[in-house]
Amino acid sequence: MNVTRRGFIKGMGMMAGASSVGFGASLSLPGIAQAASQAEAAASAKSALGDQVVKSTCVHCVNFCGIEARVSDGVIRAIYPDKARAAYYNWGICPKGASGVFNTYNPYRLKKPMKRGNPVKGMNEDPKWIEISWEEAFQTITEKLAKIKADNPAKLIWHHGHGKYTIGDQFPKAFVAAFGTPNLVHRTTTCEAARHVADENTWGGHGHLPDLEHTNLFLNFGSNPFEGEQWSRWLDHAIMDGKERGMKMIVIEPRLSHAAAKADEWIPIRPGKDAVFILALCKQLIDNNTIDADFLKTYTNATQLVGEEGRILKGADGKPMVWETIYKSARTYDDASVDAALTGTYEINGKPYRTAFQVLVDSLKDITPEYAEEVSGVPSARTKSLAKEIAAAANFGSTVKIDGHALRYRPVASYTFRGLSAKEFGVQNNRANLILNMLIGSPDAVGGLLLNHAMGHPEFLEPSKCEYPPKRADLAKSVYYPHATHECCQQVQYTVNDPKAYGLPYQPEMQIFFATNRPFSTSDAMKQQDGMKKTFNVAIDIVNTETCQFADIVLPDLTYLESWHFSPTRSTPGTKHSAIRQPMANVYNLPYDAMTILWELAKRLGLRDAYVEQLNGKWGLKKVKFEKGRDYTSREMVEVLWADKVGKPFEYALEHAFVGKNISAHDRYLHSVEANCKGLGKTRMKLYADHLVDSYANVEKTVKANHISNIDLAQFKVAYSPIPLKDHAFPTPHREAEGYPLYLITHKRMYRNQSGNTAQNPILNALGADTQANFIAVNADTAKGLGIRNGDTVVVESRVGKAKGKAKLTQGIRPDTIAVSYHHGHWSLGFPDNAKKGTWINNVLELHPDRIAGMNSFNDTKVKLYKA
Amino acid sequence: MAKFVRVIDTERCFGCRSCVAACAVENHFTPESPWNVMVEYETGHYPNTARNFVTMNCMHCEHPSCKAACDAAGFKAISKNEFGVVLVDYDKCVGCGYCATTCPYGVPQLNGAKVEQLYPGAEKTAYEQMGNLSPLHRKKARTVEKCTFCWHKLEKAIAAGRVNEIGKTPDFTPTCDLVCPVQARLFGDIDDPTSNVSTYIARKKATQLKKAFGTMPQVYYVLNGGEY
Amino acid sequence: MKKVLFLATAISAFATVTMAEDKPPKLLIKAAGDIRAGTINVGKEYSLTEEGRYHKIHNEILGMKCKGCHTHDAYPDSYLNLSKDEFPKTVDGEKTKAVEPAKCIGCHSEGNVATVFYNKQ
């Protein structure tokens, strides 16, 4: 098997004039792409079924599952999971991955570059596409880009969504850096950005996972790995294995998702009210004196002293101060001899100071279980009993020995993903959850919540500079979205439409959209169109999406089964890995993929060497780097990355597509919070996010100095509270949308993604009677009251839009809530009718981005529901 | 002699329908004639609501009622082989539909007057034009088709003398059982008391559906509640 | 429409029956024997259409009323049947009803009247 494959590789090296060792000169890109795709499949190992076996990595979503494709006579026949990855990540694959051949074999794919014949852009405007040559496409785009570069490179905006995962964001980042524009915008604010920003503003890094191998009580606030989410293919079997071990999973969310369906208990909470419920749990834990006081004192800033203005008292050396209980005086926080007070108010130089923990205690005063019931709908008795359950499961004070290390053992993890994030107060809802975890000492404990790399980026714990005027069209990190460290994708078109309104000192002229679908997938989505009408747009994609409909030029991309990538993977608490994706066909003989499109543009703009330099930096290449003065095929680029990052021969990558290793107990439990938050000079996790007080002060100062009229300071002040408040359970529509009695939430389903390339898949559309179109899920009793029967056509109406759909009556949703999945109802004229079925709900969603993170609000809207 | 059975653990299944998709791709899906379906339903009343997931495919019964009906009608298009697999011979099937009416599980799918292509009104994909297909994948109009336990895979294992690899290696395992993200499906030899399926059935108390019909299915379920 | 009529049929089409539905078992057994012997001609069309043998036997000869078998507009949500989603359905503009196969167990297990499909020993 190996011999066959290696023989082929040698042949390819000779044919292309580029061996895998020497990274020599290459032939023309189209020739290579075609030859590689055809020869690759032909040369791979044969299975007992007579198929060729090509191992690769799925990128239908962001789980990056290992796959093993079966190719028969040059046709990709089936896709199986790569069983070699089961020990590291995915045991199986999802239906999108299993039917992934139709992501590639799809007659509705983009097959040729096109330019629009109709200059008018609009939702119902036929672009009147004219097929053009790649040469004409590159020439037109290059001319535009060259003009912008000479004038002001910032006038170019690069967008990617799923494109980040099909080629990695390092390539686009290197390109925009070489070009000179600050405008590169990813989609995270439509996903879970608020969770990351909450992490960053709490422990100086982002990314966390429950330690499910040891967790005994798993609280899940609307994380839905069973219908589509990051880490799904690890979470799903880790949860199932945990449950068989005796772990209890409680899912807290308004809708009975598939995750809730598999839970031991579903707590149907009112949408948006999580913060109050979580804070009520915190209050119960504190009132019952069932908290991990040692953890709070050792790893968090709970003992640090907070002045009346909300800032932490600093000593002469600038270090935070705590109250020393024996000598009764303020001392620096990291003085090992100090026994710091966790609670209390102390007078220092005539001024009162409370410990940060005391500030939390005081702010929780009114958040009783009864109040939580009134706001969130969770019975007070359950809040009380759950707090007891959490405390009992937390095993305060206990340790466990793993691989010789005595480790804190707190087998309770409270986890979320979009559930607490896709909200106007997403950061604060997530902060509430992190505080709950801190109170029980769960961070980095065995069975608790494992943090990716605490204090890896301590700069996240600094106040925002609140830049003004903004440099970027998405206003990220500006006074508008001061801590938007994950860009702010939905904002761009508002700014492009009226840059002066936001103080942007230039008018953007060109936008490139790579595998992203903003006019379809953001809230209040129709407004995205205004900006897109004002610029010269290029779309790079595999199907003719809504974004393409607003493009001036469309470039077809290769699919994930046709192209190369040094693929990202999802590390788990126990494993780390590297992987590649490799082509196994080129169904429509496309000469370029996104990587080579970028290369070609850089080259034509005279930026090739600058691009190479940026690539080496963005990828962090150390041993093997891209060389100036030459071109690379996609495969050669992946060879460089593999050689530097993995170091094994590329033949190994071609055969296995993957290397994985296990993480030691030390690296799993001791490298993050233990190493970076405890002891002398180490920054504590922020139970109390004092820097947000200063961020708000900077907002206020900037707004006043620049007479900014479109920032509501009162609301910013609420948003920037250093401690989550009950106000964070009252987003704008909850306060203002009178006459709209029902809450509207959105969610994913397993059978679609948002960007549109699954909408045409004939298998996904036939996985049951309910997959080709979505539905309006409404509680059966509520429906009865409204005279709505199962299957009736109904209208969902908010303050910003209306949508029609079929009612699905269910007992699996709160009576005051309706739920609609947000990936159906495509309207691109480039889609066949059968891909357009269902309800496009995004246009009904009010947009109230989180003022800290810029996160798009998907779950705050209130609506009316009535029969059509 | 080996007898192959499937175990579906509905306690682990979370309804992703990956098995449904994988079956369709592996077995050259005929639109509207699914071989594998996810039955998903709710029980209870808010807030005490449950959702259940039960995937269904051919039960490959010990006493297949479909075969009895077909034989009685004189067509003898349905066979049950020595490994327990029930198959339809498309050349003998006349499309009477008797098997469909007698199957307690609604398994046999009677094709209409035309086998539709996957993308109606568009060009046929290279996948749909593949040659060299197993006879079980050459679908016909007005003919019954159904799950074969991926016989095109099993027969290769048998021919190669690698029966012991059935249910273990991808080439010799039904594709639905291969793709499950949470190992809610197993396939193996129930005649071997040490096999994965034999021990799992015992450990998790797996049972068959609709036993009143006495067809003795070779698909076992670990049930998660609800109505069966 | 892909499916040929099966498991369901239009209720209104069955206006006539030739034998009483509450026939004593002896008569049923005799009728079944006559069909097998060819004494009663039920045609050669093996199909589930109204004209085919299937409905001729059950409906015309044995006198079973349509609604005796075709009872459901749709199967209950919890019904474990692979073809469940075909219902509710309309064939040739007429609403059709589904059959619960459990109704067949009695006759088709015993072997006196009908061919044995179920509970074979």
Q: What tens digit of pLDDT does each residue of A168-197 get? A: 999 999 999 999 999 999 999 999 999 999
* Residue B151 confidence (pLDDT) above 50: yes
Please give the ipTM for the structure prediction.
0.98
| pLDDT tens for each residue of A364-380 | 999 999 999 999 999 99
pLDDT at C72 (0 to 100):
86
Shortest CA distance from C44: residue in chain B = B73
A19, HSE (Cβ side, Cα atoms, 13 Å): 6
Residue B192 and residue B221 in contact, taking contact as beta carbons nearer than 8 Å: no
Percentage of chain B with pLDDT > 90?
A: 96
* Cα separations in angstroms, B177 against A765, B3, B147, B214: 21, 16, 13, 25
Distance from CA of C33 to the nearest CA of B (A): 14
Read off the pLDDT of each residue in A782-808 and give the average, rounded to a whole number.
98
pLDDT at C25 (0 to 100):
73
Distance from CA of C25 to the nearest CA of B (A): 22
* Residue A359 confidence (pLDDT) above 50: yes
pLDDT at C2 (0 to 100):
52
Instruction: List chain B residues with CB under 8 Å of C101.
Output: 101-104, 213
Residues paired with B38 in a beta bridge: B55
Distance from CA of A109 to the nearest CA of B (A): 11
pLDDT at B79 (0 to 100):
98
Rg of chain A over Cα atoms, rounded to whole angstroms, equals: 27
pLDDT at C22 (0 to 100):
57
Determine the Cα–Cα distance for residues A70 and A437; give it in Å rounded to an integer: 45
Distance from CA of B161 to the nearest CA of C (A): 33
Residue with tokens 């700069």: A459
DSSP 8-state assignment for residue A765: G
Q: Which of A25-29, A290-294, C99-103 has the lowest mean pLDDT?
A: A25-29
| pLDDT tens for each residue of A239-265 | 999 999 999 999 999 999 999 999 999
The greatest distance separating any two alpha carbons of chain A, rounded to the nearest whole angstrom, comes to 85
Chain C interface mutation, best of B29, B101, B116, B227, highest count of C Cβ atoms under 10 Å = B101
Q: Are B39 and C79 within 8 A, CB to CB?
A: yes
Which of the four pLDDT bands, split at 50, 70 and 90, describes residue A493? very high
pLDDT at C63 (0 to 100):
86
DSSP 8-state assignment for residue A685: B
Q: Are A92 and B44 within 8 A, CB to CB?
A: no
| pLDDT tens for each residue of A83-117 | 999 999 999 999 999 999 999 999 999 999 999 99
Q: What value does the mean pLDDT of chain A take?
A: 94
Q: Cβ of B153 under 8 Å from any chain A Cβ?
A: yes
| B31 contacts: CB under 8 Å, gap ≥ 6 | A762, A766, B115, B116, B117, B118, C2
Instruction: List chain B residues with CB under 8 Å of A94.
Output: 16, 18, 181
Which of the four pLDDT bands, split at 50, 70 and 90, describes residue C12? very low
Q: Are A226 and B22 within 8 A, CB to CB?
A: no
Q: Which of A251-265, A411-425, A787-801, C37-51 has the lowest mean pLDDT?
A: C37-51
Dihedral sign for Cα atoms in the order A402, A408, A414, A416: negative
* Cα separations in angstroms, A347 against A324, B126, C118: 12, 79, 87
Instruction: List chain B residues with CB under 8 Å of A72.
Output: 130, 132
Q: Which of C81, C118, C120 has the CB atom closest to B106's CB atom?
A: C81
Q: What value does the mean pLDDT of chain C take?
A: 79
Q: Are A766 and B42 within 8 A, CB to CB?
A: no
Distance from CA of A661 to the nearest CA of B (A): 21
Residue B106 and residue B57 in contact, taking contact as beta carbons nearer than 8 Å: no
Q: Cβ of B172 under 8 Å from any chain A Cβ?
A: yes
pLDDT at A47 (0 to 100):
87
| A645 contacts: CB under 8 Å, gap ≥ 6 | A566, A578
Instruction: List chain B residues with CB under 8 Å of C2.
Output: 31-33, 111-112, 116
3-state secondary structure A525-577: HHHHHHHHCCCEEEEEECECCHHHHCCCEEEECCCCCCCCEEECCCCECCEEE
Helix (H) or strand (E) holding A666: helix A665-669
pLDDT at B226 (0 to 100):
61
Q: Are B214 and C109 within 8 A, CB to CB?
A: yes
Q: Are B57 and C82 within 8 A, CB to CB?
A: yes
Which of the four pLDDT bands, split at 50, 70 and 90, describes residue A35? very low
Nearest Cα residue to A215 out of A240, A233, A195: A240
Tell me the count of A-B CB pairs closer than 8 A. 184
Which of the four pLDDT bands, split at 50, 70 and 90, describes residue C5? very low
Residue A70 and residue A63 in contact, taking contact as beta carbons nearer than 8 Å: no
Which of the four pLDDT bands, split at 50, 70 and 90, describes residue B126? very high
Distance from CA of A104 to the nearest CA of B (A): 10
| pLDDT tens for each residue of A548-562 | 999 999 999 999 999
Read off the pLDDT of each residue in A408-416 and give the average, rounded to a whole number.
98
* Residue A849 confidence (pLDDT) above 80: yes
* Cα separations in angstroms, A472 against A506, A607, A773: 10, 22, 38
Which of the four pLDDT bands, split at 50, 70 and 90, describes residue A805? very high
> Which chains neighbour A (Cβ–Cβ under 8 Å, 3 or more pairs)?
B
| A86 contacts: CB under 8 Å, gap ≥ 6 | none
Instruction: List chain B residues with CB under 8 Å of A93.
Output: 18, 22, 179, 181
**Of residues A234 and A755, which shows the higher confidence score?**
A234
Residue type, A686: K
pLDDT at B228 (0 to 100):
60
C34, HSE (Cβ side, Cα atoms, 13 Å): 13
Q: Which of A139-153, A192-206, A622-636, C4-18 has the lowest mean pLDDT?
A: C4-18
Torsion angles phi and psi, residue A103, rounded to 5: -75, -25
Q: Which of B37, B42, B94 has the CB atom closest to C46's CB atom?
A: B94
When mean pLDDT is compared over A34-38, A609-613, C7-11, the highest value belongs to A609-613
Q: Which tokens in the block code for residue A270? A: 């009112």
Instruction: List chain C residues with CB under 8 Å of B67.
Output: none
User: Cis (ω within 30 of 0) for the bond into C88?
Assistant: yes
| Beta strand A658-662 pairing with A575-581 | antiparallel
Q: Which of A90, A812, A815 has the CB atom closest to B51's CB atom?
A: A812
Strand order, beta sheet including B219-222: B185-189, B4-9, B219-222
pLDDT at A490 (0 to 100):
97
Q: Cβ of B106 under 8 Å from any chain A Cβ?
A: no
| pLDDT tens for each residue of C40-95 | 999 999 999 888 999 999 998 888 898 889 988 999 989 999 999 998 888 788 88
Number of neighbours of residue A286 by Cβ within 10 angstroms: 17
Dihedral sign for Cα atoms in the order A550, A556, A560, A564: negative
Residue type, A495: T
pLDDT at A754 (0 to 100):
78
Distance from CA of C22 to the nearest CA of B (A): 23
Residue type, A514: F
Read off the pLDDT of each residue in B80-97 and give the average, rounded to a whole number.
97
DSSP 8-state assignment for residue A220: E
Nearest Cα residue to C58 out of C102, C14, C111, C110: C14
Determine the Cα–Cα distance for residues A272 and A745; give it in Å rounded to an integer: 9
| pLDDT tens for each residue of B46-65 | 999 999 999 999 999 999 99
pLDDT at B17 (0 to 100):
98
* Residue A27 confidence (pLDDT) above 80: no
Q: Which tokens in the block code for residue B47? A: 């807030």
Read off the pLDDT of each residue in A420-448 and give the average, rounded to a whole number.
98
Which of the four pLDDT bands, split at 50, 70 and 90, describes residue C23? low
Instruction: List chain B residues with CB under 8 Å of C77.
Output: 41-42
pLDDT at C90 (0 to 100):
84
Chain A interface mutation, best of B16, B187, B222, highest count of A Cβ atoms under 10 Å = B16
